[in-house]
């Protein structure tokens, strides 16, 4: 149940960015340290032979809006 007048969380690309702010945007959305999430993302991408992680990042870069 939502609290009346509470702002809704919105997934956006962060201004705290290394490349495009996608991973930092997810970190802010889920209240996780951006550096930790970046390390996890890189490790998972390397373990999956890199290509799926890169493809997902590019898709998110296109579809997730910039932070206002």
Q: What is the pLDDT of residue 59?
A: 95
Q: Given this model, what pLDDT does residue 23 score?
A: 93
pLDDT in tens, the chain (68 residues): 556 776 788 899 998 888 899 999 999 999 999 999 999 999 998 898 868 888 999 999 999 999 88
Count how many domains the chain has.
1
Position 46 in a domain: yes
CA 7 – CA 4 distance, rounded (Å): 9
Query: Tell me, what's the pLDDT at 52?
Result: 87
Residue 54 placed within a domain: yes
Angle between helices 51-63 and 22-29 (to 10 degrees): 80
pTM of the model: 0.81
The verdict on residue 55 lying in a domain is yes
Domain that holds residue 32: 22-63
Query: What local confidence, expressed as pLDDT, does residue 26 receive?
Result: 94
């Amino acid at each position: 149940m939502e609290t009346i007048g509470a702002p809704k969380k919105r997934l956006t690309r962060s201004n705290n960015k290394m490349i495009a702010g996608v991973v930092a945007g997810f970190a802010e959305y889920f209240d996780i340290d951006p550096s930790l999430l970046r390390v996890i993302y890189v490790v998972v991408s390397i373990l999956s032979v890199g290509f799926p992680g890169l493809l997902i990042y590019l898709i998110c870069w296109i579809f997730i809006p910039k932070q206002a």
